[in-house]
Amino acid sequence: MESSKHIVVFSHGFGVRKDSRGLFSDIAAALPCVEPVMFDYNEIDDAKNTVTVRPLAQQSEMLRGVLREIKESAPNAVVDLICHSQGSIVASLAMPTGIRKTVFLAPPVNINSNRMLEAFRSRPGSEINMEGISKIARRDGSTTIVPSEFWAERKNLRPLELYGEFAHHTNLAIIKANQDEVLEEVSFQGLGSSVEVVSLSGDHNFTGNARGPLLEVIKKLLI
């Protein structure tokens, strides 16, 4: 990678692949002047159609490693972050420096949301075991496998405090989904005036008619 490039690193959410079910691919296509960097936090088994979730500490270390490689290969590049959902928490845990701008898409405030867990439990074929191995049936036909370590890590996390601390190291903008069906009601009060919060109509993944307005906002924030 050449040092003059504008690089955007993508941090995906819970139990999905690096393209965040097409969300990140659409964003990258809308930013043709940047070099997108996407990578999987999870272990992918295509033969079994499973995604095994790695612990949050391991995910944050993976992000640090990717950013370290970018800085070493392109020390003068402009580097931005785009994070979706749980990927915002991973980025905040990594707490990288030298990131020009960071955009959080539908970031959770309460990571131990009962709404999400109950939604997973209600799906045929899902098994939620907080003390062992959980298997979650996903709408795309895949199965997400979650180790107990992942659930244990989440218990004492305070996402809003992490976001506030990360905002001291980057220019942070948050895009909130007004019709978020995954997260419970979120409020970003207390983060300070330096954090820009944009509310858009759309579900958790900004699907359908919500995708276009999302792309326009991201272009204004990063270009």
User: Tens digits of per-residue pLDDT, 24-74?
Assistant: 999 999 999 999 999 999 999 999 999 999 999 999 999 999 999 999 999
User: Tens digits of per-residue pLDDT, 141-162?
Assistant: 999 999 999 999 998 899 999 9
Cα–Cα dist 21/200, whole Å:
19
Cα–Cα dist 215/195, whole Å:
19
| First-to-final CA distance of the chain | 19
Return mean pLDDT, the chain.
94
Q: Is the pLDDT of residue 16 over 90?
A: yes
Architecture of domain 6-44+56-111+157-222: 3-Layer(aba) Sandwich (3.40)
Where does the chain show beta strands of DSSP type E?
6-11, 35-37, 43-45, 50-52, 78-84, 101-105, 134-137, 143-146, 171-177, 196-200
Q: Is the pLDDT of residue 3 over 60?
A: no
